Structure 1
Amino acid sequence: MPVNEVLQGLADELKDLLNANVADDARLVQKGMMLYRQGLVTQLRFENGEYTAVVQDVSPAKVRLDPEFLGMSDCSCPGEELCRHQLAVFFAAYSKEASVSDWLAEWREPVRETKSVASWGLQAAKDLVKAAGLMKPDYDRWVQSFESSFDALVASKKHTNPYVVSELFGIHMKRVGASAPVEKEWRLLYELVASVVSFRKLLVLSEELGFEEHVVRKAYGHCFENLLEDSADFVERLVVQTMPFAFDEFIERLRDESHAVLTSAAGYDIERVYMHRMLWTELFRKKEWRQEEAIRIGARLKALEESENPLPFSAAMIHLYFLLGNDDLALKLAGGVPDVRFVPYMVYWIDYFTGAKLWRRVEPVIEMFLGRLKEYLDGLESYQSCSAFVRSVMRSIAPYCSENGRLDLYERALLVSLPYSFADYEYLLFERGDYDRWGELQAFVGLDFYDLPKDRVKVVEKERPEVLLGMLHQTAQKEIDQKNRGSYRAAVRHLKKLRTLYKKLKRVDDWEYFIEGLLERTKRLRAFHEECQRSKLI
């Protein structure tokens, strides 16, 4: 690929990576631009597909910039990620191919657009508040007002900048709050309906705008999160008080809105299911309502087109059957869901049953979950994602295992989750005194002898010294294979430790047989033999 195309690709990647609306990113670009404009980038070269340069900052920084794989770039400064020195080198390289000022103007354009649209939105919101006034209890009028406000403020423009949506949505929610009823008991219900309707409208708009889901999550994903948190808070406050009979019609109408949240748009599966599940768990408690909703979702599932994802509907329907106490049917349906992305939904049911101490009901869910966990972990993109998920899983399973004496189940969960559960499993085996399996675990994850915690080694050496033999053999051989003087010295230190352990175990013959064979195999490695003699190993 020609240099200019590669560099242009990096320019586009940096525009996506750095958000002009985020203060930290704006400062980083500003500092990099300052270093470049002051002429502090020197010795700029392009070799083997990479840019190298020295940036004369407070102390000189040596930079290697990989334009095709930015994450492979590095800098000698203490910063761990993209730093001002790497940006300065990018600007210096880019200036030889195109205009840095044009890049900067294009990068800043979303900020100007956001400010301009936000100014317009504030004025429009004032006009809407004046027109609507305070809202009296009327469900249809409430919904019409919320939808009109959303359409006028958020959906009226064809957005090219997803960050504009966040600004305008915030203005919409402030406008909705300004028209809330004065009566305290009605205000809470009004805010809940506003949150659910606005959540649905935002889902539909996101689908219409056609932004990639990862772009939406970065630009205004917090809007969805805030609505979910607010809705859960409103519901929690509603259910702890005695609701007047006048609320009944509003609650019943809100059921249809919750169904629309689940069915009116594609994508954002976790958010849609969370909102639907929360409302049906906490607010809509009548048995016949839950039965009707399960039937409605089942009919929707049967009518799905091939391009539609059945997962959120399956998860919602299974949850309703759990709420109805029909665990057999719920588990049967769950077992028939082939999509491995279904696995995280099962964690909620584990937490739900555990919180209510329904141990008999949670056990089959845990068993089914563990049967599919490894497949799910294999599909995740990063080690960090896997580790974070496993930590949450172990927290969910631990109460059941502790209360019911099911250490075997907890250990099975740790085994299935390896290597991401290594720290917890290592601690469990060591505290239990199962040093043989502890040693096997260390070998499984590839740890060398010198990687082991010294306090652990002292205990194992005293209680079960033979456990350490295999790791010492393996580590010593790895050092010998490095074939340099420093690694030979390290190998000798491990071999001396091996000799001590063999003597302690009264297996001197085994040691002598091993060392004779090793010296014979390495007879051409003169430096290694010299280190053995210097340390009086032979």
Structure 2
Amino acid sequence: MLKVQIPKNRMNVLIGHLRDDVSLPRLEKGWEYFHKGRVAGIELRHGVEIRALVRGAKPHEVQIDLDEFGKSECSCPADEPCEHMAAVIFSLYTPFARPELLLQQLKQAKLVKNRQQQARQTGGRQEKRQERLEAPVPKQLPSVWQRYFDQQFYGFALSQQHSIELFYSAAKEKLTPLSDGWPSPLQELYRLHLLLFVMRKIEQFYQETKTSYISYYIETGCRTVGHQCMEELQKLLPSLDVKALLAECPAHWKETIAAISETALSGKESPLSWLTVYRSIWWRMADKTDWTADERKRLKRLLGSKELMPRRRDALVMADAHFSVMEGKDEEARERMEQLGKREARDFFMYLHRFYEKSAWERMLAWLRWLLPALQRAQAEELRQFSQYWMEAVQQQEDDAEWVDVMVSLLPRTYQFYTAYLLKAGRLKAWVDLQLANRVSPVNLYSLDLQTLEKQDPALLLPLFHQAVDRCIAEKNRTAYATATKLLKKLHSIYKKLDREKVWEDYIYRFAAKYSRLRALQEELRKGKWIP
């Protein structure tokens, strides 16, 4: 069992030696020794020397010099830093963090180092210098821009929690100014490709670090930055002059469409919504009937394959149905989308948003009704967006009966949206009934909401406070009794405001008698001066 803890700076030095001096097989063997509890007798001598016993095929004594690691020794025959030393270092790391995460970090670092060495051996520095691309210029095709972007961030290291955010900032800062002074259509197209590059790298990072010790942070960063990229994309698209691009540089635009299609229709798992990018781009080309006709033919040809994976088939179905939406044939699109293996609400919010912007309320309502089954498994943010769109649509209807039924059917997940709407609509009794049904105590409600009810109809609050008092008594502890006493004080003020003092006196008398055997409650009632 570990009895000592070395300083963090010395621990960092030992980690560096594990990374640079211990081979991967020995590192993994050392982890196995540590994991199986074969490290014993660890002690610190003179502040600079670690000694321990590692039981492998036979016991080995390990001595690690914290000042000069090169002087460290092990009784095994190895003539280099060995697995027994690695096992001891893993043991020393336990007070700082989880050793299994350190193992993953070290393996990842060694993998990157090996790749870099292989690249140097196969390419050679002189050859790489000759292949280095110049900064992008307007006449180059987008594929050349993308190759330049890749070169600038080749080997970008994901070594900390905020690596994705740092990559995003660095890419924007370094690559955006390169298009300054370009003709307007190409400058917007360049910025679109910069966003596509960032998104492509995000997907690559996401896939490559699934087993990394910082995979959680990388995945979170990928989703956060991906969301930022999608927001930027939606702002950029209106300024993208597709007509001018087709007239002046059709090859540039053709490559752009091809690159987006290849990624969006692959069906690969991704933290990004590539299908949204694909559909948004094609929506900008609704009047280019020759282009859209060719794309639909291509999609139908791809859908004719009998060996499509489910995820890829869904992507192709979504893409094909989108062209029906573009033509205003929503019913035809929804019928097509019934073939989807999995219907995700987030894939359709772009339609709801567009209909909201165009005030196309009937189209929005039709899609909202169709999406309702998918909302049962939607995430919280998706449910929030759905509820907001429906709240906008309900204002265009003669009454809100349909919307209320939807909110009730999705309770308790829609509690926040439904309760806010009831207050806003002045349906106070329904608001109180909702709190009673969900057993929500007035203690957990906003004071402003309670003040609104007390001002307009204080009698509605009586059952809410009575229920809360009864639930506090049922808990049978002094803290709950103290809360009940405070609620009784508010309850008394409501009865007083309603000029029903006699009813209150009768209630408090029967209340005290009913719980006369609860000594702690009786004491709290005396403190509150409810009983003598």
Fold similarity call, TM over 0.5 = yes
Change (3 A) 1:150 1:284: farther
Q: Which residue is 2:472 aligned to?
A: 479
Q: Is 2:353 aligned against 1:351? A: yes
Q: Specify which of 401, 425, 430 is matched with residue 432 of structure 1.
A: 425
Q: Which one-letter code corresponds to 1:393 in the other structure?
A: F
3-state SS in 2 of match to 1:325: coil
Q: Give yes or no for contact 1:370–1:416 (8 Å, CA) kept in 2.
A: no
Q: Is 2:274 aligned against 1:272? A: yes
- What is the CA-CA distance between 1:364 and the residue it aligns to? 0.4
Q: Spell out, residue by residue over 1:64-108, the C-alpha distance to the aligned partner (whole angstroms, 9 max, x if none).
A: xxxxxxxxxxxxxxxxxxxxxxxxxxxxx97585788x9999899
Comparing 428-437 with 512-521, greater Cα deviation is found at: 512-521
- What is the CA-CA distance between 1:475 and the residue it aligns to? 1.9
Q: Give yes or no for contact 1:166–1:219 (8 Å, CA) kept in 2.
A: yes
3-state SS in 2 of match to 1:321: helix
Change (3 A) 1:124 1:318: farther
Q: Spell out, residue by residue over 1:398-445, the C-alpha distance to the aligned partner (whole angstroms, 9 max, x if none).
A: 433334455444444544554454444333323433222111122234
Q: Which residue is 2:45 aligned to?
A: none
Q: Which residue is 1:38 aligned to?
A: none
Q: Which one-letter code corresponds to 1:356 in the other structure?
A: K
Change (3 A) 1:137 1:252: same
Q: Specify which of 336, 340, 355 is matched with residue 337 of structure 1.
A: 340
- What is the CA-CA distance between 1:345 and the residue it aligns to? 1.6
3-state SS in 2 of match to 1:491: helix
Q: Distance in 1 between matches of 2:173 and 2:462?
A: 68
Q: Which one-letter code corresponds to 2:453 in the other structure?
A: V
Q: Give yes or no for contact 1:261–1:272 (8 Å, CA) kept in 2.
A: yes
Return the TM-score normalized by structure 1: 0.62
Q: Which one-letter code corresponds to 1:312 in the other structure?
A: A
Q: Distance in 2 between matches of 1:496 and 1:353?
A: 51
Q: Specify which of 431, 436, 447 is matched with residue 443 of structure 1.
A: 436
Q: Spell out, residue by residue over 1:442-466, the C-alpha distance to the aligned partner (whole angstroms, 9 max, x if none).
A: 2234321333444544553465444
Q: Distance in 1 between matches of 2:450 and 2:157?
A: 61
- What is the CA-CA distance between 1:275 and the residue it aligns to? 1.8
Q: Which residue is 2:369 aligned to?
A: 367
- What is the CA-CA distance between 1:479 and the residue it aligns to? 2.8
Q: Spell out, residue by residue over 1:286-341, the C-alpha distance to the aligned partner (whole angstroms, 9 max, x if none).
A: 2343344344334434535446454433333332221122211112133443525x
Q: Distance in 2 between matches of 1:455 and 1:207?
A: 45
Q: Give yes or no for contact 1:476–1:495 (8 Å, CA) kept in 2.
A: yes
Q: Distance in 1 between matches of 2:251 and 2:394?
A: 44
Q: Distance in 2 between matches of 1:300 and 1:514?
A: 75
Q: Distance in 2 between matches of 1:175 and 1:257?
A: 23
Q: Distance in 1 between matches of 2:229 and 2:130?
A: 21
**Structure 1: 5+ residue runs without aligned partners?**
5-10, 16-92, 381-385
Q: Distance in 1 between matches of 2:341 and 2:2?
A: 46
3-state SS in 1 of match to 2:247: coil
- What is the CA-CA distance between 1:271 and the residue it aligns to? 2.7
Q: Give yes or no for contact 1:149–1:172 (8 Å, CA) kept in 2.
A: no
Q: Which one-letter code corresponds to 1:267 in the other structure?
A: E
3-state SS in 2 of match to 1:277: helix
3-state SS in 2 of match to 1:337: coil
**Structure 2: 5+ residue runs without aligned partners?**
4-10, 16-89
Q: Distance in 2 between matches of 1:174 and 1:495?
A: 62
Q: Specify which of 251, 254, 263 is matched with residue 253 of structure 2.
A: 251
Q: Which one-letter code corresponds to 1:317 in the other structure?
A: D
Q: Which residue is 1:187 aligned to?
A: 186
Q: Is 2:323 aligned against 1:323? A: no
Q: Distance in 2 between matches of 1:98 and 1:471?
A: 51
3-state SS in 2 of match to 1:473: helix
Q: Spell out, residue by residue over 1:340-366, the C-alpha distance to the aligned partner (whole angstroms, 9 max, x if none).
A: 5x1112222111111112222222001
3-state SS in 1 of match to 2:346: helix
Q: Distance in 1 between matches of 2:413 and 2:134?
A: 55
Q: Is 2:515 aligned against 1:522? A: yes
- What is the CA-CA distance between 1:280 and the residue it aligns to? 0.8
Q: Percent identity?
A: 16
Q: Give yes or no for contact 1:191–1:234 (8 Å, CA) kept in 2.
A: no
Change (3 A) 1:254 1:124: farther
3-state SS in 2 of match to 1:300: helix
Q: Give yes or no for contact 1:235–1:283 (8 Å, CA) kept in 2.
A: no
Q: Give yes or no for contact 2:442–2:465 (8 Å, CA) kept in 1.
A: yes
Q: Which one-letter code corresponds to 1:468 in the other structure?
A: L
Q: Spell out, residue by residue over 1:227-260, the C-alpha distance to the aligned partner (whole angstroms, 9 max, x if none).
A: 6566555543332885572333443443333321
Q: Distance in 2 between matches of 1:202 and 1:404?
A: 45
Q: Distance in 1 between matches of 2:488 and 2:203?
A: 67
Change (3 A) 1:411 1:126: farther
Q: Give yes or no for contact 2:168–2:198 (8 Å, CA) kept in 1.
A: no
Q: Distance in 2 between matches of 1:495 and 1:357?
A: 50
Where do 1:76-91 residues align within 5 Å? none
Change (3 A) 1:436 1:267: same
- What is the CA-CA distance between 1:197 and the residue it aligns to? 6.8
- What is the CA-CA distance between 1:505 and the residue it aligns to? 7.0
Q: Which residue is 1:376 aligned to?
A: 377
3-state SS in 2 of match to 1:245: helix
Q: Which residue is 1:260 aligned to?
A: 262
Q: Distance in 2 between matches of 1:399 and 1:463?
A: 26
Q: Which one-letter code corresponds to 1:187 in the other structure?
A: L
Comparing 256-265 with 229-238, greater Cα deviation is found at: 229-238
Q: Distance in 2 between matches of 1:166 and 1:452?
A: 38
Q: Give yes or no for contact 2:321–2:336 (8 Å, CA) kept in 1.
A: yes
Q: Which residue is 1:312 aligned to?
A: 315
Greater C-alpha radius of gyration: 2
Return the TM-score normalized by structure 2: 0.62
Change (3 A) 1:265 1:433: closer
- What is the CA-CA distance between 1:134 and the residue it aligns to? 6.0
Q: Give yes or no for contact 1:259–1:276 (8 Å, CA) kept in 2.
A: yes
Q: Give yes or no for contact 2:279–2:319 (8 Å, CA) kept in 1.
A: yes
Where do 1:98-113 residues align within 5 Å? none
Q: Give yes or no for contact 1:492–1:531 (8 Å, CA) kept in 2.
A: yes
Q: Distance in 2 between matches of 1:263 and 1:477?
A: 58
